[in-house]
Amino acid sequence: MRYFLELSYNGKAYHGWQNQPNAISVQEVIENIISKLLNTEIKIVGAGRTDAGVHAKQMFAHFDLDEKIEREDLKYKLNAFLPKDIAVHAIFEVKPDAHARFNATSRSYLYRLSLEKDAFNFDSAYYLKKHLNINLMNQAAKELLGHKDFQCFSKTHTDVKTYYCDIQNANWQQIGNELHFTITADRFLRNMVRAIVGTLINVGLEKITVEDLQAIIASKNRSEAGYSVPAHGLYLTKIEYPEAITNDR
């Protein structure tokens, strides 16, 4: 039987989602707990990787088991034993060939910029002291939708076959004392969202123009793009799948 976990986590204490040889990861913590609860070694496969310090409001992972389980009971026990910064929201049965990573059709991220110093959100939003032109930032964000190759925003020396991504939506909006950047695509490269945000901030600071952004993308050179903004302001917010992969919902 194959099952999907739907979960969320605060990434502050973890060195990203994926298992690391010398650092604690979200995947490792969940695997250890679920293996003890089911009394067998369980390996889980996530929908993707999040970097150290990045949060997930919605993440999916799959695991295999030889027998049916009482899903609500397992969810209750997982939440009882997992640390307070990881929460399981649902467990559901999927088709045997359903894959948490490869069957995902889109992923959405949110980046939070704080416009004022706030004693309560300093570790959940990036405080930027300078004034930003949000209209220019939205013009530049719209420009992203007309491109496919985003090598300029990818972490260097990554093992990927293609730098092509289909960005379906990208925009900024002000919510209270924060600027929120939301972006949806079929896939993302390592460090891509944080590099895009850093580059769009440079547009908002009027250090570069929208035309400069076009040249940066065409260059395929990471050193031409903006800085990588801090991880603590980034959230994986939504992952979508075709309904056909599920057996029971």
- Identify the CA nearest to 137 among candidates 218, 94, 196: 196
Per annotation, catalytic residue among 51, 66, 166, 248: 51
CB 76 within 8 A of CB 32: no
Partners of 175 in the β-ladder: 178
Angle formed at CA 157 by CA 47 and CA 54, multiple of 5 degrees? 40
φ, ψ of residue 28 in degrees (nearest 5): -60, -45
* Distance in angstroms (rounded) separating the CA atoms of residues 123 and 113: 11
206: left (phi over 0), alpha (psi -120 to 50) or beta: left
- Tokens standing for residue 118: 């706030």
| Of residues 44, 11, 6, the one with CA closest to residue 194 | 11
Answer yes or no: 51 catalytic: yes
In order of 85, 97, 133, 221, the CA distances from 105 in angstroms are: 27, 16, 32, 27
Catalytic residues: 51
